[in-house]
Amino acid sequence: MIPALDIDPFCKAFFDDPYPAHAAMRDAGPVVYLTQYDVHAVARYNDVRAMLLDWGSYTSARGVGISDFAKEKPWRLPSLLLETDPPLHDRTRKLMDKVLSPAAVRGLREAFADAAELLIDDLLARGTFDAVRDLAEAYPLTVFPDAVGMPAENRRFLLPYGNMVFNSFGPRNSFFEAAVADAEPVLAWVQAQSKRDALSTTGFGAAIHAAVDDGDIAEAEAEVLVRSLLTAGVDTTVNGLCAAVYCLARFPAAFEQLRADPSLARAAFEEAIRLESPVQTFFRTTTRDVTIGGEMVPEGTKILMFLGAANRDPRRWDQADTFDMTRRNAGHVGFGAGIHACVGAVLARMEGELVLAALARKVSRLEITGEPKRRYNNTLRGMASLPMRMVAG
Ligand code: OVV
């Protein structure tokens, strides 16, 4: 028997405190049925990871949101990375792996480090600020569009756009409707930014479009791949940085540890990704009758993978709810796993490392000075506002 639960993982109360419901789903069994949405779900580390690795049994091509592309027309042109399976997936992924390669990212390191230093100096000069708007959003909105090769104007438009797409993986609830209304004015602009002519000749965007000249992809495909960067490259790192700052502010001993050894910056960012899991969930769809923990789940079933619950599963992690940058956190699924594992992870990790290293070297005190406000999103976990004070030292 697959346990049936009436948990709503897409409502305000759940987003305010998902952890009791995560535990309830993990404890109920390896796979559960969520009655409110007629979908199945996995929340234990082992089952989430196994599902991520088995793309043959759990397809992404029917969409990684709640909507089944086999039954409902996708609301946008499907992503050539996220919403595909091999062999199509591998062709586009290979290109994006090259565009976002460790060598390509390394070439940006100095510019990204300079931007991190400048940002922290500026925030220290101000003393009090909003860690979401002025730090977590400000940094990726500077360095990432630069790296893609976008013009300087209107970059903040990427935020409502990403917010809408990540909401769209969930049900058509009020969060989704509000995000659509918010993004409507920027849709045409974002679409235009993926065109070859809109991009500089040196960035990631140009590198994608160069594959058209080589005959590897069509022009229209290049534009959809650039769209992936614009959609998935900002809100994710914003919420990753927000998670890291929020962790360091709430765990002062951890911040002292980081200050004492700034080379822990990379590990601290990774641990924040594990603990907060900015990307909380994705769906898969079964391509055949499968068994999960001995339970049969039929072909064509939508299954919600709780990455955030897997990353706090006490079956896998000691002191799962504690921020510990010295733990061995490799294997967390905050960036996914398998063929769809985050293609921008090298870049995201560098952004996180450089911002936290600048904090570690320049800041002596980090404190939350007002009520943090959550940002509600059907997929992303993060804040709308985090009032903060920083002191130099
Ligand atoms: C991982 C992710 C999130 C949202 C959009 C996309 C990817 C995309 O490829 O469009």
Q: What pLDDT is stored for residue 211 in this prediction?
A: 98
DSSP designation for 1:
-
Q: What pLDDT is stored for residue 243 in this prediction?
A: 98
Average pLDDT value for residue range 350-379 = 98
DSSP three-state, residue 290: strand
Q: Among the atoms of ligand 1, which is closest to the Cα of residue 162?
A: 4
CB of 231 sitting under 6 A from ligand 1: yes
Domain boundaries, the chain: 4-392
Question: Could you count the other beta carbons within 10 Å of the beta carbon of residue 110?
Answer: 10
Query: In percent, how much of the chain has pLDDT > 90?
Result: 100
Mean pLDDT for all residues in the chain: 98
Average pLDDT value for residue range 105-110 = 98
CA 140, CA 335: separation in Å to the nearest integer?
A: 17
More confident residue, 393 or 302: 302
Average pLDDT value for residue range 204-232 = 98
CB of 143 sitting under 6 A from ligand 1: no
Split at pLDDT 50, 70, 90, the class of 280 is very high
* CA dihedral angle for residue 213, residue 215, residue 221, residue 226, rounded to 10 degrees: -40
Q: Among the atoms of ligand 1, which is closest to the Cα of residue 81?
A: 9
CB of 163 sitting under 6 A from ligand 1: no
CA 258, CA 367: separation in Å to the nearest integer?
A: 15
Q: How is residue 103 written in tokens?
A: 């060598």
Sequence-distant (6+) residues with CB within 8 A of 257 are: 264, 325, 326
**pLDDT 10s digits, 29-76:** 999 999 999 999 999 999 999 999 999 999 999 999 999 999 999 999
CB of 232 sitting under 6 A from ligand 1: yes
Ligand 1 midpoint to CA 369 (Å)? 34
Ligand 1 midpoint to CA 10 (Å)? 19
Split at pLDDT 50, 70, 90, the class of 226 is very high
Split at pLDDT 50, 70, 90, the class of 252 is very high
Measured in whole angstroms, the distance separating CA 64 from the mean position of its chain's CA atoms is: 14
CB of 82 sitting under 6 A from ligand 1: yes
Fold of 4-392: Cytochrome p450 (1.10.630)
Ligand 1 atom 8: residue of nearest CA: 228
C-alpha closest to that of 377 among 238, 186, 269 = 238
Ligand 1 atom 4: residue of nearest CA: 232
Average pLDDT value for residue range 217-240 = 98
CA 195, CA 208: separation in Å to the nearest integer?
A: 11
Split at pLDDT 50, 70, 90, the class of 308 is very high
Asked if residue 237 lies in contact with residue 244, where contact means CB atoms within 8 angstroms, the answer is no
Average pLDDT value for residue range 146-173 = 98
CB of 7 sitting under 6 A from ligand 1: no
